[in-house]
Amino acid sequence: MFDETDFFIIPPFKNEVYIDPTDDCTRSKMKEAIAMVRSQGKEYDLLIGGRHYSTEKRIISTNPADPDEIIGRVSKANKELLNRAMESAYDAFRSWSRLPAHERVRPFLKAAQIMRDKRFELDATMILEEGKSWIEADADLAEAIDFLEFYSREALRYAGPQPVVQIPGEVNELKYIPLGVGVVIPPWNFPSAIMAGMTSAAAISGNCVLLKPASDSPVIAAKFVEILGEAGLPDGVVNFLPGSGSEIGDYLVEHPLTRFISFTGSKEVGLRINELAAKHQEGQKWIKRVVLEMGGKDCVVVDETADIEAASSGAVSSAFGFQGQKCSAGSRIIVVENVYDETVRLIKEKTEALTVGDPTDPDNYMGPVINEAAMTKIMNYIDIGKKEARLVTGGNHIQGKGYFIEPTVFADVPPEARIAQEEIFGPVTAIIKARDFDHAIEIANGTEYGLTGALYSRERDRIERAKAEIHVGNLYFNRKCTGALVGVQPFGGFNMSGTDSKAGGRDYLLLFLQAKSISEKIL
Residue 278 neighbours by CB distance under 10 Å: 10
Dist CA 402 CA 71 (whole Å): 14
Dist CA 431 CA 344 (whole Å): 8
Dist CA 75 CA 241 (whole Å): 8
Beta bridge partners of residue 299, listed in sequence order: 332, 453
Provide the pairing of β-strand 66-75 with 58-63.
antiparallel
Is 459 known to be catalytic? no
The string of DSSP codes covering 456-511 is E-S-HHHHHHHHHHS--SEEEESS-S--PPTTTS-B--EETTBS---BTSTTGGGG
Specify whether the CB–CB gap between 93 and 208 falls below 8 A: yes
Q: What is the DSSP letter of 6?
A: G
Taking alpha carbons only, the member of 89, 48, 108, 87 closest to residue 208 is 89
Q: CB under 8 Å to 245, separation ≥6 — which residues?
A: 185, 212, 215, 269
Task: Kindly name the residue from 154, 327, 406, 481 that is annotated as catalytic.
Answer: 327
Task: Kindly name the residue from 129, 149, 154, 293 that is annotated as catalytic.
Answer: 293
For residue 214, the SS3 value is coil
Please report how many Cα atoms fall inside a 13 Å half-sphere around the Cα of residue 510, on the Cβ side: 8
Residue 163 neighbours by CB distance under 10 Å: 6
Is 25 known to be catalytic? no
Taking alpha carbons only, the member of 335, 417, 308, 325 closest to residue 371 is 325
Taking alpha carbons only, the member of 315, 281, 72 closest to residue 191 is 72
DSSP tally for the chain: helices H, then strands E = 16, 23
Residues recognised as catalytic: 293, 327
